[in-house]
Structure 1
Amino acid sequence: MTKFWKKLANVVFSQRTTIILLLLAQVLFLLFTFFQLSEHSSAIYYTFTVLGLALAVYILNKPQNPAYKLAWIIPLLAIPVFATIAYFILTNQYSTRRVRNAHIKKCASTKPYLRQDQDVLTELDIEDKNVYRLARYVDKYGGYPIYKNTTVEYFRVGEEKFAAMVRELKKAEHFIFLEYFIIDQGEMWDEIHQILVEKAKQGVEVRLLYDGMGSQHLLPFRYDKKLEAEGIRCHVFNPFRPMLSSIQNNRDHRKICVIDGHTAFNGGVNLADEYINRKERFGHWKDTAVMIKGDGVWNFTMMFLQMWEIVDGEGLASDYDQFLPENTDEMPKSAPGYVLPYGDSPLDTENVGELVYLDIINNARDYIYITTPYLIPDNEIVTALGYAAKSGVDVRLITPGIPDKWYVRSIAKSYYKELIALGVKIYEYNGFIHAKNFVSDDKTAVVGTINLDYRSLYLHFECATYMYKVPAVMEVKADFLNILEKNCVEITVHDCAERSLWSRMVSAVLRIFSPLL
């Protein structure tokens, strides 16, 4: 009985409970204000109704995704007082403007260090004009050039990435940069943490950046201070605070590891035991990653430094040249194909992550194979996938059979029937698939952190590795076909029809508000 009360006390007085209660108090205050105004002041209520209508018109004319607009317009028309107050609180805040301005300035000031090699672009123009146009777009509007002389090693599961990462970290001589959405104590992080501490003692510069919400309830309070005391420079991106704020929506969902400027890791694998199947949460956890070596690593080096300096807030720029690779033995002298590591920010007007995906879909001729844990596509993605399938392209999607979030799966299922009717084939993995992969026509692939949902495409900081005519492209394809044959079940129109009325109703309602979830 004593254990029960002790456990209950730990829950009641925990940081998580405090945050939930404070957020709940703010929501209740908004609801109380709504009902008070509705019941006791018709003049104010009608004023807010008019204001809500005006806001709905304003949002309708904003250059935003239509589904995101709809998710706000419906509450503004249905409950104008509550929705109007919530909209002003969530969209007009100094913290959001400050981070946005800092991000714009940092990207502008670092642009000279991310110059596109025009010879590489000229070669690409001759080889494939479609890829040339994409590379030119990402360079000009995303800020990241495309490279040759870069090798890519593909990892089919998190365990493979972990083994390679440990091996490469142990070889570090100058610096280690880590940027992750989730860090959780366990076998994976404990081993990496030990290596980082040892490297810091050897004089290697170690920097760690982790997201304030992704790791909120997984790490001890003020864990960053503990790491600092161990010689690891550490920042928490956008620490989660119990305040209703739009900036809390913008999370750092990236997974980046850079070692000495010559080696980088990217993909869906966070630093927690479920990603390497040392802990089972939703059946077998299928994830993927890549290790790149060579010139293309520089994009990830600069991507990390940009974010680090924004979070650091000191306004100081690094001597970026000091992070160029010194050990040329680790740099390939030549390598087939082209590699484009790129990032995407929610604080600008460019949806780089989505446009890269759309480019692959629109230029596919034979097939497009996609894996994603969260299937909540917007109208542009659905239209592109449907047109590709109707035109004869083999379009296949793999999603989780065991979801980590019930409501996300419920929304995803609302798209199944629509996509199948368009000719898209959908399969469910007999576990949880967290990989975010695109592969098309034996020549193009993307492995990264970008899901097919609104959060990844519009609200999160993301990153990925685009490959063209790199040998690893065929490994991505082979991996897809292997799990398709051995670990997946195809979803049919009959399966969709068997869903209960209640299940379909829940999906329909959740789908309306999916851009805000």
Structure 2
Amino acid sequence: MKQWRKMLRIIFGRTTFLVVSLIFQIIVLLSCFRLLSEYFTYVYGGFVILSAAVVIFIINRQQAPDYKLAWIVPVLVFPVFGALFYLFMELQPGTKRIADRLRDIIKETQIYLQQDVSVEERLQKESQRIGSLARYMNCYGGYPVYENTYAEYFPSGEELFPVLKEKLRNAKDFIFLEYFIIERGKMWNEILEILEEKAKNGVEIRVMYDGMCSLMLLPYHYPRKLEEKGIRCKMFSPVKPALSSYQNNRDHRKILVIDGHTAFTGGINLADEYINEKKRFGYWKDVALMLQGDGVKSFTMMFLQMWEITETKKEDYGFYLPPMSRFKNWLPEGSGFVMPYGDSPLDHETVGEHVYTDILYQAKRYVHIMTPYLILDNDMVTALTYAAKRGVETVIIMPHIPDKKYAYILARSYYKELLEAGVKIYEFTPGFVHAKIYVSDDEKAVVGTINMDYRSFYLHFECAAYLYKNHAVADVEKDFQNTLNQCEEITLEVWRKYPLLSRITGSVLRLFAPLM
């Protein structure tokens, strides 16, 4: 009986309705284009000219060559459908409105993210190269570099969870949560219990999660339930039954801010597999980072910038940026420099990828990487192979048990050229790696939400923290080595044993990788 009820919920559920609606729209579009091509020769000729114009437009856009090619092929192969579909996806008024609104908000918040000149000067004395990166990030990413920031690294969700709950219980003024995934279960239920109690005691709580959760994980009107508990809540970009490029731009960030002095980020969402209470793909390897001190300011502003996109009432940003002197009696002492940053798909500045490639080009001894996905553009392939070719130990840890079969096959299509250049690849045999880390030369590390794929680099809202000469860098490297001990090395001999069909499929998928 339960199975029948479950099946009926799936058949008549919102997700099924959404998928059927999208498929119906695509079928209607294809039918219309087919009629035009078959019965209106002069119209079809006009579309051929339009396709040529679209190809010229794509070639001259400031985009990655791989992304351009992924669009040019369908436009040329399907002159009618390809050209109109491209124009339909690119000329979305909703996306432009969001981009304009976000641009205005960033201008409003610039005053709160000014670079401390004395910090910048000290960083320049430590390293002109890192100083140049910080200058770029401040000018084009909008985020400064900080001192006086303590960082603590967590090599698993199980180690993070009790600390997260402790910090939430100690909140006095406000709590901000922004996550790609929230799913009911042990992790979220225990956090929600704390949030409810805090809301009753007058602590301001705001929760924002990506609209994809409404498909399978949470009821569509779940924000109303939280509002009834005194918790302000919203979905970012609710998924709707309509073709739209805006629905491609997901909020992939993981940010938790407490009272303006403590922040968490990393790969860990609020669902049970992230603390290994639920087994999906073997052991779930993930990581997180806690910041306390000056650097929390950037994560606070990242959250408020995203929250304000759909708000009409002007926000008092300064209220949520308390001076750290208020907490000096208990805040732990930080070391080195910390640069939290966000990445937006709407500003055409791929800061997430630029930070990764900067590490690869500056590395002297090693670059160690963990990533769940490996869907690379030409710039990233060049940076990885060049690092290895000039003698830098370049090591990537990937999952051995994938969460998405197509992504796994696609990732393996890059193995051969990377291995031939000297890049070392390992797969984590106990399960799935969801961590996103870079660590290099015992002095710099990045921990955040940014995967090594097109979606993270070009389509999603992301965030991370860059650490330079911070004590937590050593903890990131230690975790990498511990994880490496649980991995199988992938050599060219191993790669050659992969099924031929799998290798061919991966090669074909690479053509469409930028759109996946």
State the TM-score, normalizing by the size of structure 1. Answer: 0.97
Once the two structures are TM-superposed, the CA of residue 42 in structure 1 deviates from its matched residue by 2.2
Percent pairwise identity: 53
User: Which residue is 1:386 aligned to?
Assistant: 385
CA distance in 1, matches of 2:472, 2:413: 33
Counterparts of 1:426-465 in structure 2 under 5 Å?
Answer: 426-430=425-429, 431-465=431-465
CA distance in 1, matches of 2:124, 2:25: 55
User: Which residue is 1:417 aligned to?
Assistant: 416
Give the stretch that moved more between structures: 211-220 or 118-127: 211-220
User: Which residue is 1:217 aligned to?
Assistant: 216
CA distance in 1, matches of 2:298, 2:6: 46
1:318-368 deviation digits (Å, cap 9, x = unpaired): 242344257414764742200011001001021111111111111000000
Q: Is the 8 A contact 2:260 2:320 kept in 1?
A: no
Equivalent AA in structure 2 for residue 418 of structure 1: E
CA distance in 2, matches of 1:7, 1:478: 45
Give the stretch that moved more between structures: 5-14 or 427-436: 5-14
Q: Is the 8 A contact 2:151 2:334 kept in 1?
A: no
Equivalent AA in structure 2 for residue 351 of structure 1: T
Q: Is the 8 A contact 2:397 2:428 kept in 1?
A: yes
Structure 2 residue runs of 5 or longer lacking an equivalent are: none
Equivalent AA in structure 2 for residue 92 of structure 1: L
Counterparts of 1:218-233 in structure 2 under 5 Å?
Answer: 218-233=217-232
User: Which residue is 1:262 aligned to?
Assistant: 261
Alpha-carbon spacing, 1:322–1:78, altered in 2? closer, same or farther (3 Å):
closer
User: Which residue is 1:89 aligned to?
Assistant: 88
Give the stretch that moved more between structures: 334-343 or 296-305: 334-343
CA distance in 2, matches of 1:73, 1:230: 50
Equivalent AA in structure 2 for residue 321 of structure 1: F
Q: Is the 8 A contact 1:262 1:330 kept in 2?
A: no
Once the two structures are TM-superposed, the CA of residue 134 in structure 1 deviates from its matched residue by 0.7
1:76-110 deviation digits (Å, cap 9, x = unpaired): 00011111221122111110010000011111111
| Aligned-pair Cα RMSD in Å | 1.3
Counterparts of 1:350-429 in structure 2 under 5 Å?
Answer: 350-429=349-428
Give the stretch that moved more between structures: 491-500 or 269-278: 491-500
Q: Is the 8 A contact 1:141 1:350 kept in 2?
A: yes
1:174-216 deviation digits (Å, cap 9, x = unpaired): 0000000000000000000110011000000000111101453
CA distance in 2, matches of 1:308, 1:70: 35
Q: Is the 8 A contact 1:142 1:342 kept in 2?
A: yes
* 1:132 lines up with 2:131 in the alignment: yes
Alpha-carbon spacing, 1:5–1:137, altered in 2? closer, same or farther (3 Å):
same
Counterparts of 1:175-194 in structure 2 under 5 Å?
Answer: 175-194=174-193
Give the stretch that moved more between structures: 360-369 or 46-55: 46-55
CA distance in 2, matches of 1:308, 1:512: 36
Equivalent AA in structure 2 for residue 146 of structure 1: V
* 1:291 lines up with 2:290 in the alignment: yes
CA distance in 1, matches of 2:319, 2:340: 19
User: Which residue is 1:342 aligned to?
Assistant: 341
Q: Is the 8 A contact 1:372 1:436 kept in 2?
A: yes
CA distance in 2, matches of 1:66, 1:202: 54
Structure 1 residue runs of 5 or longer lacking an equivalent are: none
Q: Is the 8 A contact 1:149 1:332 kept in 2?
A: no
1:22-60 deviation digits (Å, cap 9, x = unpaired): 001011111212222232222222221221121011101
May I ask how many residue pairs the two structures share in their alignment?
A: 514
CA distance in 1, matches of 2:270, 2:90: 32
Once the two structures are TM-superposed, the CA of residue 228 in structure 1 deviates from its matched residue by 0.6
State the TM-score, normalizing by the size of structure 2. Answer: 0.97
CA distance in 2, matches of 1:330, 1:424: 47
Counterparts of 1:7-406 in structure 2 under 5 Å?
Answer: 7-312=6-311, 314-324=312-322, 327-329=326-328, 332=331, 334-406=333-405
Alpha-carbon spacing, 1:175–1:325, altered in 2? closer, same or farther (3 Å):
farther
Once the two structures are TM-superposed, the CA of residue 501 in structure 1 deviates from its matched residue by 2.5
